[in-house]
């Protein structure tokens, strides 16, 4: 088996998808912008002691310097049409036993699911995975929204990759109700995946807004593809899919139109040391 490679492409994805030869991918994961109507922005700041600064921790004064700002626009007149065109263009790149994962938020997920049912067929719908996290402030006038939705479709619901033995185990909620052996081994997760967000201060953090946890992508890649398979993410952002694929011995193609994303992906994957190929817009 050849060594896995990660290819980073800076391109508008619809045009790129339409230009591709029909080389099949076994797994496609996409996490499109969520149509929040605003610009996704992440700022990195450093605070230093400064007698002229504003009061802060321990009664001391601090000055804050903006180190960098990363952003991309997250606004579409017609979100579902935007996504439909891109998913439709990627269908011919899917292997006969491929899976497609579309990561959306609860404001759009029902519209996107109907659209995917139309494109792939209702029989191809496999799971609505709820990624539940618990971080940040609490709403006071409704239940705090702390989950995303990941829709899984299989091109052929009778022939797809789902490696049960590769599934990681999670603790039982009531371990005293099962045998000590079972409790020690844990259980396979359901379609509700509890996983914290990328820690704002952790090592995994790239500084790219909307970065998704590596653990979520590793679970998808490990269970839904095999070593040597080809994985595609055409809304690649910080390249989480690429890092997961490479760590697990799969090759990946990562497409994003934002030069900031490409910069972050290159740095991230160079640190993880895959054989990264660069491409502008093939
Ligand atoms: C939600 S982010 C993806 C985050 C990624 N999953 C991660 O873990 O870092 C969506 C990305 O889609 C990119 N994007 C939006 N529209 C695009 C388009 N038409 N072509 C290519 N990339 C696009 C944005 O630049 C942004 O980086």
Per residue in 94-132, pLDDT (tens digit) is 999 999 999 999 999 999 999 999 999 999 999 999 999
Per-residue pLDDT at 198 exceeds 90: yes
By percentage, how much of the chain surpasses pLDDT 90?
Answer: 74
For ligand 1, atom 5, which residue shows the shortest CA distance?
237
Per-residue pLDDT at 86 exceeds 70: yes
Question: What is d(CA 255, CA 126) in angstroms, rounded to the nearest whole number?
Answer: 25
Ligand 1, closest atom to CA 261? 27
The ranges of the chain annotated as CATH 3.40.50.150 are 5-37+75-279
Which pLDDT band, with edges at 50, 70 and 90, does 53 fall under? low
Residues 6+ apart with CB under 8 A from 44: 66, 67, 68, 69, 207
Mean pLDDT of the chain: 89
Which pLDDT score, from 0 to 100, does residue 114 have? 97
Residue pair 50/253 in contact by the 8 Å Cβ criterion: no
Class of domain 5-37+75-279: alpha beta
Phi, psi (deg, nearest 5) at residue 139: -70, 150
Per-residue pLDDT at 79 exceeds 80: yes
Which pLDDT band, with edges at 50, 70 and 90, does 22 fall under? confident
CB atoms near residue 218 (< 10 Å):
18
Which pLDDT score, from 0 to 100, does residue 232 have? 98
Q: Which residue has the higher pLDDT, 46 or 136?
A: 136
Which pLDDT score, from 0 to 100, does residue 252 have? 97
Task: Tell me the H-state helices in the chain.
Answer: 13-19, 79-90, 109-120, 180-185, 214-224, 240-247, 259-272
Ligand 1 pocket (Cβ < 6 Å) reads: 12-13, 31-33, 72, 208, 210-212, 235, 237-238, 240, 255-258, 261
For ligand 1, atom 1, which residue shows the shortest CA distance?
33
Based on its alpha-carbon atoms, the radius of gyration of the chain, rounded to whole angstroms, reads 20
Mutational pocket test of ligand 1: of 12, 256, 259, 264, the residue with most ligand atoms within 8 Å of the beta carbon: 256
Convert the pLDDT of each residue in 224-249 to its tens digit. Answer: 999 999 999 999 999 999 999 999 99
Which pLDDT score, from 0 to 100, does residue 66 have? 61
Ligand 1, closest atom to CA 86? 19
Which pLDDT score, from 0 to 100, does residue 14 have? 97
Q: How far away, in angstroms, is 236 Cα from ligand 1 center?
A: 5
Mean of the pLDDT values across residues 247-257? 97
Q: How far away, in angstroms, is 33 Cα from ligand 1 center?
A: 6
Q: How far away, in angstroms, is 31 Cα from ligand 1 center?
A: 7
Per-residue pLDDT at 281 exceeds 80: no
For ligand 1, atom 3, which residue shows the shortest CA distance?
237
Which pLDDT score, from 0 to 100, does residue 201 have? 85
Ligand 1, closest atom to CA 103? 6
């Amino acid at each position: 088996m050849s060594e896995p490679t990660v290819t980073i492409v800076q391109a508008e994805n619809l045009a790129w998808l339409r230009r591709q030869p029909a080389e099949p991918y076994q797994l496609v994961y996409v996490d499109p912008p969520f149509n929040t109507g605003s610009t996704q922005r992440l700022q990195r700041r450093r605070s230093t002691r400064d007698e002229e600064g504003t009061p802060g921790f321990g009664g001391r004064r601090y000055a804050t310097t903006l180190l960098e700002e990363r952003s991309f626009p997250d606004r579409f007149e017609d979100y579902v049409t935007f996504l439909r065109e891109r998913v439709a263009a990627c269908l011919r790149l899917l292997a006969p036993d491929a899976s497609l994962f579309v990561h959306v938020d609860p404001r759009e997920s029902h519209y996107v699911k109907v659209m995917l049912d139309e494109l792939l067929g209702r029989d191809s719908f496999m799971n609505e995975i709820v990624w539940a996290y618990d971080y940040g402030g609490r709403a006071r006038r409704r239940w705090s929204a702390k989950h995303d939705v990941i829709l899984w479709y299989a091109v052929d619901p009778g022939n797809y990759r789902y490696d049960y033995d590769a599934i990681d185990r999670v603790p039982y909620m009531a371990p005293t109700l099962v045998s000590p052996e079972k409790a020690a081994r844990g259980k396979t997760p359901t379609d509700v995946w509890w996983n914290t967000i990328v820690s704002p201060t952790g090592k995994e953090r790239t500084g790219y807004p909307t970065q998704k946890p590596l653990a979520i992508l590793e679970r998808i890649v490990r269970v839904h593809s095999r070593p040597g398979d080809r994985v595609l993410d055409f809304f690649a952002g910080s390249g989480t899919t690429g890092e997961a694929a490479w760590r697990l011995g799969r090759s990946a193609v990562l497409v994003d139109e934002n030069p900031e994303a490409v910069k972050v992906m290159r740095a991230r994957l160079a640190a993880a040391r895959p054989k990264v190929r660069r491409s502008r817009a093939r």
